[in-house]
């Protein structure tokens, strides 16, 4: 499908949606209701990542304000909670704030995430913004997720047919390089005669977190500018109730509960305070954090800014009252909270049947033993930026690429999706046993290892890029996880670009002019996550898929213990 034909189709869909909204509102005006306001409940979740089965370890817990935790998540439990929440209010919309798919566990990823789309259809999701992971396999696969059809290479491997999503994928700021829209910007829902706009905007710096080939030919435009333009169009059409699904988020600090607002100033808050005052609610995602905040719009009026962790552990709920006369939200009456998706409710039978089917079909591969460990290998980093699981993965990648002459391996923390836990999973493989499905959940991207030559100066420059600013100017720190051959010190007080010292490889100080063979995945080699220094690499040699490197390393290192955290040292 050409970009022109697709843009025409998108424009036609948008026009039809607006016409339906206008028709619905005309009918409502002809038969006025006695009530002065309309109650509307908005329910959203974010960063589900195909977690059909309740996530394990810390990925399956919600931390409360007092530091205690609650087990949470799982598609069948999310379905029950969503159904209960919708039953409490006559009018409700179930939404998603992106990253529904991609970086998924094996029982979804093995089938190209078709089971997850089927799940979202089952629970009645009515709109979703695209996240960066919706672009993991490129635009054509995103269109297949939307409109259906069998995979072009593997066919339909979950069920005989795949019909795609029953809800629209939104992306108001996603265009082709010629400026034509690549996705629907918004969708309109009519609630008791009142039109409600749901606008979808994804992060402007999406190209920095996916491989370049996945977004070739596309532009991801400024979030605030896009929201202002879109909101203005909706204002002109008389659509005053406007909700944003924003796949961008803020980080939090300290111990924070689901309804606390302990955010570090970041891109989501900046967008929510600068974008059009006509917008009433911001659901956010991407940062996998939990917060429930109120910010002021440019006119000084309050509006909700909320996010619900990830993996289906929380449902973000915003209750609105809409004035029937003005068709706008009574902001002072807005009530928001994050609902914990506890596992103490009955599992939804229909969704559980879907999960059981996907799990059973993937079981022969997922339950195969690949290694053993003596304790949890967690991805959480210490104060210096080092994690036990990151150490193991980097060591595995170095071992897998020594045939390319590699002396160092480095991996991005965002590519490590969950912990490897010592306790047995529900499959019953036994304590300490690591299965293929568990390692897949840790590294689901199928990134290819590549070995490049960098000078010592280039290597130091790459490490200095661990401290960055995002597209909105907010500080971002991403600590690369490094193999045991590499050691260095960094200073908290040193100036940007001059934090790294005592850099050694194999115990020998790094020579700025000398060449070193460094192994990274293809995402980093292309400059992903802002590590543009890797693009200076020469003499590229290919290696195995990162997951294969990890499983091979576990196989030859039975009873693997967490490594000593001595590779990265932080000083004042």
Same domain, 385 and 422: yes
pLDDT band at 298 (very low <50, low <70, confident <90, very high): very high
The pLDDT of residue 549 is above 90: yes
Specify the 3-state DSSP secondary structure of 565.
Answer: coil
Region 431-446: mean pLDDT is 94
- 356, part of any domain: no
Strand partners, 40: 320
Q: Which two tokens stand for residue 420?
A: 């490897």
Smallest CA-to-CA distance from 446 within 56, 47, 109 is with 109
The pLDDT of residue 58 is above 90: no
- 376, part of any domain: yes
Domain extent for 203: 3-349
Q: State the average pLDDT for the chain.
A: 93
Same domain, 341 and 481: no
CB-based contacts of 67, cutoff 8 Å, min separation 6: 255
**Confidence (pLDDT) at 282:** 98
Smallest CA-to-CA distance from 325 within 192, 230, 199 is with 192
Q: What are the backbone angles phi and psi of residue 536, rounded to the nearest 5°?
A: -80, -5
Strand duo 241-247 + 218-220: pairing: unpaired
Q: Are the C-beta atoms of residues 25 and 219 closer than 8 Å to each other?
A: no
pLDDT band at 279 (very low <50, low <70, confident <90, very high): very high
- Please give the full DSSP string across 452-492, using - where no structure is assigned: EEEEHHHHHHHHHTTEEE-TTS-EEE-PPEE-TTEEEEEES
CB-based contacts of 564, cutoff 8 Å, min separation 6: none
Smallest CA-to-CA distance from 119 within 144, 145, 140 is with 145
Same domain, 71 and 208: yes
**Confidence (pLDDT) at 17:** 47
Region 500-522: mean pLDDT is 97
Express each pLDDT in 186-214 by its tens digit.
Answer: 999 999 999 999 999 999 999 988 989 99
Same domain, 374 and 305: no
> What's the rounded Cα separation, in Å, for the pair 164 and 154?
16
Specify the 3-state DSSP secondary structure of 394.
Answer: helix
Specify the 3-state DSSP secondary structure of 402.
Answer: helix
Same domain, 151 and 91: yes
- Of 300, 322, 349, which one is at a domain's C-terminal end? 349
- Please give the full DSSP string across 496-554, using - where no structure is assigned: TT--EEEEEETTEEPPTTSEEEEEEEHHHHTTGGG-GGGGG-EEEEEEEEHHHHHHHHH
Express each pLDDT in 149-193 by its tens digit.
Answer: 999 999 999 999 999 999 999 999 999 999 999 999 999 999 999
**Confidence (pLDDT) at 5:** 47
- 222, part of any domain: yes
> What's the rounded Cα separation, in Å, for the pair 344 and 77?
8
Express each pLDDT in 13-42 by its tens digit.
Answer: 454 444 444 433 333 344 444 579 999 999
**Confidence (pLDDT) at 473:** 76
pLDDT band at 476 (very low <50, low <70, confident <90, very high): confident
Q: Cα–Cα distances in Å, from 230 out to 3, 12, 234, 311, 325?
A: 21, 16, 6, 30, 23
Q: Are the C-beta atoms of residues 532 and 551 closer than 8 Å to each other?
A: no
Same domain, 336 and 458: no
Please state the domain count of the chain: 2
pLDDT band at 475 (very low <50, low <70, confident <90, very high): confident
- 355, part of any domain: no
Strand duo 61-63 + 69-71: pairing: antiparallel
Strand duo 515-521 + 475-477: pairing: unpaired
Same domain, 322 and 419: no
**Confidence (pLDDT) at 12:** 45
Same domain, 226 and 375: no
Same domain, 51 and 80: yes
**Confidence (pLDDT) at 10:** 52
Region 228-241: mean pLDDT is 98
- Of 280, 315, 349, which one is at a domain's C-terminal end? 349
Q: Which two tokens stand for residue 447?
A: 């990134």
The pTM for the full model equals 0.85
CB-based contacts of 174, cutoff 8 Å, min separation 6: 130, 181, 182, 183, 202, 218, 219, 220, 221
- Of 322, 349, 376, which one is at a domain's C-terminal end? 349
Q: Which two tokens stand for residue 442?
A: 């840790």
Smallest CA-to-CA distance from 211 within 381, 389, 414 is with 414
Same domain, 320 and 375: no
- 358, part of any domain: no
> What's the rounded Cα separation, in Å, for the pair 222 and 483?
37
CATH number of the domain bearing residue 493: 3.90.780.10
Q: Cα–Cα distances in Å, from 379 out to 20, 49, 186, 386, 447?
A: 48, 17, 36, 9, 18
CB-based contacts of 462, cutoff 8 Å, min separation 6: 410, 454, 480, 531, 533, 534
- 363, part of any domain: no
- 158, part of any domain: yes
- 125, part of any domain: yes
Same domain, 231 and 100: yes
Region 327-332: mean pLDDT is 97
Same domain, 156 and 283: yes
**Confidence (pLDDT) at 34:** 57
CATH number of the domain bearing residue 228: 3.60.21.10
């Amino acid at each position: 499908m050409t970009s022109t034909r697709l843009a025409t189709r998108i424009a036609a869909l948008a026009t039809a949606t607006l016409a339906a909204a206008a028709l619905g509102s005309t009918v409502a005006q002809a038969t006025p209701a006695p009530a002065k306001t309309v109650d509307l409940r908005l329910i959203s979740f974010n960063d589900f990542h195909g977690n059909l089965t309740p996530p394990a370890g810390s990925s399956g817990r919600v931390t409360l304000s007092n530091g205690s935790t609650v087990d949470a998540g799982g598609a069948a439990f999310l379905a029950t909670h969503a159904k209960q929440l919708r039953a409490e209010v006559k009018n409700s919309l179930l939404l998603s704030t992106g990253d529904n798919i991609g970086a998924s566990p094996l029982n979804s990823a093995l089938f190209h995430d078709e089971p997850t789309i089927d799940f979202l259809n089952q629970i009645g999701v009515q709109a979703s913004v695209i996240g960066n992971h919706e672009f993991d396999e490129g635009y054509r696969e995103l269109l297949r997720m939307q409109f259906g059809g069998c995979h072009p290479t593997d066919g339909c491997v979950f069920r005989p047919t795949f019909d795609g999503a029953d809800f629209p994928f939104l992306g108001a700021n996603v265009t082709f390089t010629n400026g034509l829209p690549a996705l629907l910007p918004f969708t309109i829902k009519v609630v008791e005669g009142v039109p409600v706009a749901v606008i979808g905007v994804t992060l402007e710096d999406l190209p920095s977190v996916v491989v370049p080939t996945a977004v070739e030919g596309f532009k991801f435009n400024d979030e605030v500018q896009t929201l202002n333009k879109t909101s203005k169009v909706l204002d002109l059409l008389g659509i005053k109730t406007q909700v944003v699904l924003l796949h961008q988020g803020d980080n939090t600090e300290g111990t924070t509960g689901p309804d606390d607002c302990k955010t570090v100033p970041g891109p989501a808050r900046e967008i929510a305070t600068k974008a059009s005052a006509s917008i009433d609610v911001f659901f956010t995602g991407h940062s996998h954090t939990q917060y429930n905040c109120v910010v002021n719009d440019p006119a000084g009026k309050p509006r909700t800014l909320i996010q619900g962790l990830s993996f289906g552990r929380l449902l973000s709920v915003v209750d609105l009252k809409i004035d029937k006369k003005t068709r706008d939200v009574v902001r002072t009456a807005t009530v928001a909270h994050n609902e914990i998706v506890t596992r103490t409710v009955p599992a939804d039978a229909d969704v559980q049947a879907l999960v059981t089917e996907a799990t059973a079909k993937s079981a022969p591969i997922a339950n195969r033993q690949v290694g053993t460990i003596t304790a949890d290998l967690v991805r959480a980093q210490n104060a210096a930026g080092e994690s036990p699981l990151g150490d193991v993965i980097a060591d595995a990648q170095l071992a897998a690429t020594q045939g390319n002459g590699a002396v160092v391996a480095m991996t991005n923390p965002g590519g490590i999706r969950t912990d490897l836990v010592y306790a047995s999973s529900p499959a019953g493989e036994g304590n300490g046993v690591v299965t293929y499905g568990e390692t897949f959940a840790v590294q689901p991207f199928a990134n290819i290892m590549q070995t490049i030559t960098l000078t010592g100066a280039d290597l130091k420059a790459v490490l200095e890029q661990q401290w960055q600013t995002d597209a909105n100017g907010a500080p971002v720190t991403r600590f690369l996880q490094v193999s045991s051959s590499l050691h260095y010190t960094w200073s908290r007080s040193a100036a940007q670009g001059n934090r790294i010292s005592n850099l050694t490889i194999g115990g020998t100080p790094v020579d700025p002019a000398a060449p070193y063979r460094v192994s990274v995945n293809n995402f980093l080699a292309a400059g992903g996550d802002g590590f543009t220094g890797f693009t200076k690499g020469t003499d590229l040699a290919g290696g195995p898929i990162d997951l294969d490197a990890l499983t091979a390393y576990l196989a030859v290192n039975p009873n693997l213990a967490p490594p000593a955290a001595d590779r990265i040292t932080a000083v004042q």
